[in-house]
């Protein structure tokens, strides 16, 4: 099974160091939470893994193959899928075309049955395949983004605050979607502020603060860690 | 019917060529790039096809393909410096390129300068023009549900998210620019060989503006809409002849109306009805 290995990653934006010496692993089939206060560098890490920003030091590899010098579309084709903190769908395209675009890296196009199965997993089978994505309510847009990411059968799934803006019932449904992706063998890196969700789905949690890794462990260990309590409350 | 067609054959030819030009621009627009060099690509192919026909005796088929490939090649080279430009900056740079092409056509040794290039064999008729248009239409129709078409649409909607699903957006942009230049080149060759005489002024900013307005009126992301827009705007000045000197105003007024009340163009009205 594939594994994401991030080693000694450093990211600089001009003179600002967003990440420094951060290492983490996401084994296939597991869910790893990435938490920390605002500005801790969580999204920067996802952007580095997906090739949107270039790290200034360190390495990123999936299954032993280096990702950190590849262009973004090559990284996606290697099996890395993501969702965005602010939903980024193909707004004027239909629900079906958004999911089809997500399967772009695979040979051929998804048939009607796999399309239906993907939408069912994201609880979107009722919205209508031909509806323009931009006309969906916010919660459904977020789920469509997840369906698009799953359509490519990713080896690594990066979720950037997927529960933001969802109601409690939708957040509970999201748990099953995330665990399902891991059951299929994908490694999932979950950036999230909703600690209940993190505790419910994550096997391990990594905590960032001011661009540095300050703790790692199971959700229960993290909740007791004095450095983490300090970072959030201090 | 036949009498009508032969009486208006010049206008009918013009509709076909303008429709092809509008379709050629719609390719780039569908990938979300406002690249306004279509008139220049048209001119390059018009001159190449005219010169190869007059000086080397090539037949229309050979001359037109040579012209269209020349336009496509120039587009491929142009894609390199403009690759990082987006939106209005891309529009300005490509308009600038159009001016360069026009000035080269005025001053280059083989083109006949500002007085124009004449004696082009008149070996294009209405059937040739609409044959090419039909061929292009069938090609686009067959491509409409392919992964390539999906990649183009995704690139337009969100370039970064498109890369995020594995689409090589730089290649999409290059591909649509080059394919659009090829089609504009075919239109240019048809224009040259239907008119016997061309000048650099035929391929200036005025022409580019006309093509863009056709696409806006038709609906910027629909090739069929673009073709309809071109047909509409080509016929319009003939229909409103009774307005005399004021008839130039109509296309501007229609552009304004479309932008205000039907931002998705004719194609958008159609879709709303459906």
Q: Using one digit for the tens of pLDDT, what is the confidence trace for B17-36?
A: 999 999 999 999 999 999 99
Q: Using one digit for the tens of pLDDT, what is the confidence trace for A170-227?
A: 999 999 999 999 999 999 999 999 999 999 999 999 999 999 999 999 999 998 999 8
Name the residue range of residue B240's domain.
Answer: 2-273
Asked if residue B45 lies in contact with residue B188, where contact means CB atoms within 8 angstroms, the answer is yes
Last residue of a domain, one of A121, A151, A181: A151
Q: What is the CATH number of the domain that holds B147?
A: 1.10.3470
List the single residue in B153, B165, B169 with the smallest CB-CB distance to A152: B165
Based on the fold, state whether residues A101 and A65 are members of the same structural domain.
Answer: no
Based on the fold, state whether residues A25 and A40 are members of the same structural domain.
Answer: yes
Q: Which of A46, A73, A132 to mutate to test the interface with B (most CBs of B within 10 A)?
A: A73
> How confident is the model over B235-250, as a mean pLDDT?
83
Based on the fold, state whether residues A97 and A159 are members of the same structural domain.
Answer: no
Based on the fold, state whether residues A52 and A102 are members of the same structural domain.
Answer: no
pLDDT value at residue A12:
96
pLDDT over 70 at B49, yes or no: yes
pLDDT value at residue B274:
44
Q: Is B157 on the interface with A (CB under 8 A)?
A: yes
Based on the fold, state whether residues A14 and A27 are members of the same structural domain.
Answer: yes
Alpha carbon of A36: minimum distance to chain B alpha carbons (Å): 24
Answering whether pTM is above 0.90, one says: yes
Residue A30 sits at φ, ψ, to 5 deg, of -125, 160
Based on the fold, state whether residues A27 and A64 are members of the same structural domain.
Answer: yes
Q: Is A77 on the interface with B (CB under 8 A)?
A: yes
Whether residues B169 and A152 touch (CB distance < 8 A) is answered with no
Residues of chain A scoring pLDDT < 70:
1, 233-234
Last residue of a domain, one of A103, A130, A151: A151
Name the residue range of residue A121's domain.
Answer: 87-151
Which of these, A161, A162, A133, lies nearest to A146 by C-alpha position? A162
Other residues' Cβ atoms within 10 Å of the Cβ of residue A129: 15
Whether residues B166 and A100 touch (CB distance < 8 A) is answered with no
Last residue of a domain, one of A151, A171, A187: A151
Alpha carbon of B133: minimum distance to chain A alpha carbons (Å): 27
Based on the fold, state whether residues A106 and A210 are members of the same structural domain.
Answer: no
**How many structural domains does chain A have?**
2
Based on the fold, state whether residues A172 and A106 are members of the same structural domain.
Answer: no
Based on the fold, state whether residues A69 and A13 are members of the same structural domain.
Answer: yes
Whether residues B154 and A91 touch (CB distance < 8 A) is answered with no
Based on the fold, state whether residues A145 and A158 are members of the same structural domain.
Answer: no
Alpha carbon of A83: minimum distance to chain B alpha carbons (Å): 9
Whether residues B158 and A82 touch (CB distance < 8 A) is answered with no
List the single residue in B161, B163, B221 with the smallest CB-CB distance to A90: B161
- Percent of residues in chain B assigned helix, strand, coil, to nearest 5: 80, 0, 20
Whether residues A104 and B168 touch (CB distance < 8 A) is answered with no
How far apart are alpha carbons B186 and A52 in whole angstroms?
Answer: 39
ipTM of the complex: 0.94
Based on the fold, state whether residues A73 and A132 are members of the same structural domain.
Answer: no
pLDDT band at B273 (very low <50, low <70, confident <90, very high): low
The number of C-beta contacts closer than 8 angstroms across A and B is 68
DSSP 8-class letter at A65: E
Residue B192 sits at φ, ψ, to 5 deg, of -60, -45
Alpha carbon of B166: minimum distance to chain A alpha carbons (Å): 4
> How confident is the model over B170-193, as a mean pLDDT?
98
Taking contacts as CB-CB distances below 8 angstroms, the residues of chain A near B163 are 51, 71-73, 76
pLDDT value at residue B1:
66
**How many structural domains does chain B have?**
1
Q: Is A82 on the interface with B (CB under 8 A)?
A: yes
């Amino acid at each position: 099974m594939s594994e994401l290995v991030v080693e000694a990653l450093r990211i600089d934006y001009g003179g600002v160091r967003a990440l420094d010496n951060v290492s983490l692993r996401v084994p296939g089939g597991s869910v790893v939470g990435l938490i920390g206060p605002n500005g801790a560098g969580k999204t920067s890490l996802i952007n580095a893994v997906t090739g949107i920003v270039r790290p200034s030091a360190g390495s990123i590899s999936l299954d032993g193959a280096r990702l950190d010098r590849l262009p973004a579309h090559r990284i996606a084709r290697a099996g890395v899928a993501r969702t965005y903190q602010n939903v980024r769908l193909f707004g004027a395209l239909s629900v079906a075309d958004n999911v089809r675009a997500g399967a772009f890296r695979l040979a051929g196009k998804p048939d009607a049955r796999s399309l239906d199965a993907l939408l069912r997993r994201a609880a979107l089978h009722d919205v209508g395949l031909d509806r323009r994505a931009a006309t969906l309510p916010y919660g459904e847009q977020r789920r469509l983004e997840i369906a698009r990411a799953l359509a490519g059968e990713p080896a690594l799934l990066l979720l950037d605050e997927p529960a933001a803006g969802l109601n409690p019932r939708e957040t509970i449904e999201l748990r099953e979607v995330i665990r399902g992706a891991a059951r299929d063998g994908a490694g999932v890196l979950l950036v999230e502020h909703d600690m209940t969700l993190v505790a419910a789905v994550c096997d391990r949690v990594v905590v960032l603060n001011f661009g540095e890794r300050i703790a790692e462990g199971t959700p229960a260990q993290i909740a007791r860690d004095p450095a983490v309590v300090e970072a959030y409350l201090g | 019917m036949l009498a009508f067609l032969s009486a208006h054959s010049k206008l009918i030819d013009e509709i076909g060529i303008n429709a092809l030009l509008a379709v050629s621009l719609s390719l780039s627009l569908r990938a979300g790039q406002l690249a306004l060099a279509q008139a220049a690509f048209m001119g390059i192919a018009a001159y190449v096809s005219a010169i190869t026909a007059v000086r080397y005796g090539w037949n229309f088929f050979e001359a037109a393909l040579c012209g269209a490939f020349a336009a496509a090649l120039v587009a491929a080279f142009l894609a390199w410096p403009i690759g990082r430009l987006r939106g209005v900056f891309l529009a300005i740079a490509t308009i600038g390129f159009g001016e360069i092409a026009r000035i080269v056509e005025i001053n280059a040794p083989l083109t006949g300068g500002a007085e124009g290039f004449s004696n082009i064999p008149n070996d294009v008729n209405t059937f040739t023009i609409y044959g090419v248009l039909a061929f292009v239409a069938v090609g686009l129709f067959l491509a409409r549900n392919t992964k390539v078409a999906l990649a183009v649409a995704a690139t337009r909607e969100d370039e970064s998210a498109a890369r995020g699903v594995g689409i090589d957006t730089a290649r999409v942009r290059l591909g649509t620019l080059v394919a659009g230049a090829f089609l504009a080149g075919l239109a240019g060759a048809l224009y040259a060989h239907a008119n016997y005489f061309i000048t650099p002024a035929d391929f200036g900013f005025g022409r580019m503006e006309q093509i863009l307005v056709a696409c806006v009126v038709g609906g910027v992301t629909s090739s069929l809409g673009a073709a309809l827009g071109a047909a509409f705007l080509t016929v319009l000045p003939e229909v409103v002849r009774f307005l005399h000197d004021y008839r130039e105003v109509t296309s501007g007024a229609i552009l304004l109306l479309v932008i205000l009340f039907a931002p998705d163009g004719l194609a958008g009205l159609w879709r709303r009805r459906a």
